[in-house]
Amino acid sequence: MHLGTTLDGFFPVKASVTLETSRESRVRFHEAADGGRTATVFGGLAAARTWAAGYGAVRPGELDLLESMAADAAWYRRGTGLQFLPTGGQRVNMLSREESSLAYLEHYMPAPVRTEHGVVLGYSAGPRRAAVVGEGIPLPVPASGAPRCRLTASAYARGRTTLLVRYRDAARGVVAEHRAVATGGASTFDRIALHCPEAPPAPAVHADLLVTGEFTRPAVTLGPELYAWGEGQRVPSVVVEQNASALLWAGSRCLDAATYARPAYTITELRTGDPA
């Protein structure tokens, strides 16, 4: 999994043994006297999530990043706050859940449309100016000496459509961009993709995705491959807490001084509201 900010990019975190996701239900059911049932939805169907990350046996220093984020409030004042990408999220969709569903786009049309994989709800009506679909996506920081990976952007499009990936530095200055123009179906929405020909340049710490045309189901993934579409995995604002730690072994001899612990963390999504 990854944690980071728009000023620093995404840092890899040691994979946990378990990563459980939970969320509170936003639906309340009501039984009527005649046996009927109604439902009330509070604040939208997309409830905030909590991830419980458990580790089996770690030595001091193996979770320095998590420990720092759980102890130092300064992390939450950098960029747009602390962002989270669950394990494997970089291969599914680095957009947020709302960005991938187009829920906040000005020209969003809540109507069913047909893609090559079936019917989905909602699409962008295709204004002439580019729609900012994903903004401030932190770029994964590679291991020391390792090359940076290219990005792949995609969407389901109808007619002539432009995909634009724009790389920005910590001051939000544009340092590079890649563009692809493709034509989707005439009546259905077909998958189009932009395989960025180069890796993000060294100053780039985050990226934006802009799309012009009629489209639905956008995605950004890490690497040159085009993966099957998945809902946006990036969580734009979270808080990290360490809520437990069990001491497994503390060496007492000079030649066996290793210490092992079993820590547990919670990563809680912060939300300011849901689209109507």
How confident is the model at residue 239, as a pLDDT? 94
Q: Residue 273 pLDDT > 70, yes or no?
A: no
User: Mean pLDDT in the chain?
Assistant: 88
CA dist., res. 212 & res. 180, Å (int): 11
The tokens for 216 are: 């639905």
Q: pLDDT tens digits, residue range 214-245?
A: 999 999 999 999 999 999 999 999 999 988 77
Domain ranges (residues) in the chain: 1-86+235-276, 91-232
How confident is the model at residue 275, as a pLDDT? 46
What's the rounded mean pLDDT across residues 73-83?
Answer: 90
Confidence at 213, pLDDT banded by 50, 70, 90: very high
CA dist., res. 216 & res. 118, Å (int): 12
What's the rounded mean pLDDT across residues 33-44?
Answer: 84
CA dist., res. 109 & res. 190, Å (int): 18
Q: pLDDT tens digits, residue range 113-156?
A: 998 888 999 999 876 788 999 999 999 998 777 889 999 999 99
**Domain 91-232 belongs to what topology?**
Jelly Rolls (2.60.120)
Is the separation of the CB atoms in 8 and 65 below 8 Å? no
Confidence at 204, pLDDT banded by 50, 70, 90: very high
Task: Using DSSP, state whether 41 is helix, strand or coil.
Answer: strand
How confident is the model at residue 254, as a pLDDT? 60
CA dist., res. 102 & res. 62, Å (int): 38
* Residue whose token pair is 């590679």: 142
Q: Residue 46 pLDDT > 50, yes or no?
A: yes
CA 202, 207, 212, 217 torsion: positive or negative? positive
- Please give the C-alpha separations between residue 109 and each of 61, 112, 127, in angstroms, as whole numbers: 49, 9, 12
Task: Using DSSP, state whether 60 is helix, strand or coil.
Answer: coil
Q: pLDDT tens digits, residue range 86-99?
A: 999 999 999 999 99
How confident is the model at residue 276, as a pLDDT? 39
Least reliable range by pLDDT among 149-153, 194-198, 248-252, 267-271: 248-252
Q: Which residues pair with 165 in a beta bridge?
A: 178, 209
Q: pLDDT tens digits, residue range 159-203?
A: 999 999 999 999 999 999 999 999 988 888 999 999 999 999 989
What's the rounded mean pLDDT across residues 259-268?
Answer: 86
Q: Which residues contact 118 (CB under 8 A, 6 or more apart)?
A: none
What's the rounded mean pLDDT across residues 1-25?
Answer: 88
> Which percentage of the chain shows pLDDT scores above 70?
93
